[in-house]
Structure 1
Amino acid sequence: MKFPFYKGLVVFILLSVFSCQPKPEEVSLDLSAKKIKPALAEKMSKKFVNETSKLLMLSAEQDTIKEKPPYRLSVSSWYSLDELQSYINESKRQADSLGIDLNGFRIYVGVFPDEEIYGKKRNQMAFFISPTGNRSVQQGAFLLQEKFPGDIPEIDPLEYGSDGEPPISTYPQIE
């Protein structure tokens, strides 16, 4: 009769231990002041494509139209939820190991070099994400932090998302 009691006790202890483990904290901020309506997003996206296409086709030396833009235009980049969450988690771990307070991410626009090694992204506009944070700086007996979040070049930026199809498609892109 002792065996079932001990077995039950072990199960009870294991359940108690695992149910007491802290659950991942879900952050919930009021972003209502930072959101825009879909109609405005569509208007902004179309304006970007139209104006950028015009700019890229104007020659810097003359007011003549080139045959084609100097690089392929992209207006969006897509990342899965898992890719973004993994990148955020990895960036947090790396920043912690560097003694940097990770506080956000900056999104950059760039153009891949016109080199074969970049495949289909060769000579194409792209967006990449760079973690930002404040570094603690020792000055005398005081430990100070930078006033503005700076990029953390020790952590590789994330790019290689999927571009919209075709890359010049404007908002909204719906299946």
Structure 2
Amino acid sequence: MKNLIYIILGAIIGALLTYYFCPRPLEDDGPIKIVKPKGVITVDKAKELNENWTLYRKAAVDSAAQKQGREQDDRSTYWDLDEIENYLAFAKNQSDSLGYQMTGIRVYLGVYGKNAGQTKKDLTTMFIVPTGRKSKASSLNLNFRGNDEDVPGGNPLNDGAGGQGGYPN
């Protein structure tokens, strides 16, 4: 009889501990708060920046494309939203496995080389690189620069759809 009491008492204590220490789904706090990111500009400012690019860079950039028999070079790149979301999840995971905390992305301009095939040969491309800081768990270095570095070994995203029109299309 005494053993039965201990078994029942143990089951009750186990149930209470399980209740208090097992994670539970978070309560729904209502709609997600949307915050306007720093750096968002007006459509008019974007048009001005695009017009400045056209004024100061288009002739030089397009001259390289004309050498390849193309009228103009790409001036924008498009990635599908699913591709971007998948890439961000992939890059966060990869950065973590490389000992970095991913804190952002950097967009680079590049040029395909002579071996890229006729449709891309010597033309402009853009690619995204994960940036971050060395994880504190893997390094005692403190980063006071404020400028996060490209994650060494982090795979960039390329192969977006090139665009030739100015902003807006």
Task: Report the TM range for the smaller structure's normalisation.
Answer: 0.5 to 0.7
Which one of the candidate residues 22, 26, 35 is aligned to 1:29?
Answer: 35
Alignment RMSD (CA, Å): 3.3
**In the alignment, which residue of structure 1 is the partner of 2:89?**
89
Structure 2 vs 1, CA of residues 107 and 80 (structure 1 numbering), >3 Å: closer, same or farther?
same
**In the alignment, which residue of structure 2 is the partner of 1:102?**
102
* TM-score, reference length from structure 1: 0.66
Q: Within 5 A, what are the aligned runs for 1:124-143?
A: 124-136=123-135, 143=140
2-side partners of 1:94 and 1:86: how far apart?
A: 12
What is the CA distance between 1:49 and its match in structure 2?
A: 2.3
Corresponding position: 1:144 with 2:149: no
Give the unaligned 5+ runs of structure 2: 1-23
Partner SS state of residue 60, structure 2: helix
CA contact under 8 A between 1:110 and 1:126: conserved in structure 2?
yes
Partner SS state of residue 163, structure 1: strand
CA contact under 8 A between 1:105 and 1:131: conserved in structure 2?
yes
Give the unaligned 5+ runs of structure 1: 1-18, 59-65
**In the alignment, which residue of structure 1 is the partner of 2:60?**
55
**In the alignment, which residue of structure 2 is the partner of 1:80?**
80
2-side partners of 1:172 and 1:158: how far apart?
A: 24
For 1:55, give the aligned amino acid: A
Q: Considering only CA atoms, is the larger Rg found in Structure 1 or Structure 2? A: 2
2-side partners of 1:67 and 1:121: how far apart?
A: 9
* TM-score, reference length from structure 2: 0.68
**In the alignment, which residue of structure 1 is the partner of 2:11?**
none
CA contact under 8 A between 2:65 and 2:122: conserved in structure 1?
no
What is the CA distance between 1:73 and its match in structure 2?
A: 2.2
Report how many residues are paired: 139
For 2:88, give the aligned amino acid: I
What is the CA distance between 1:144 and its match in structure 2?
A: 2.2
Quick one: percent identity of the two aligned structures?
24
Structure 2 vs 1, CA of residues 144 and 171 (structure 1 numbering), >3 Å: closer, same or farther?
same
For 2:102, give the aligned amino acid: L
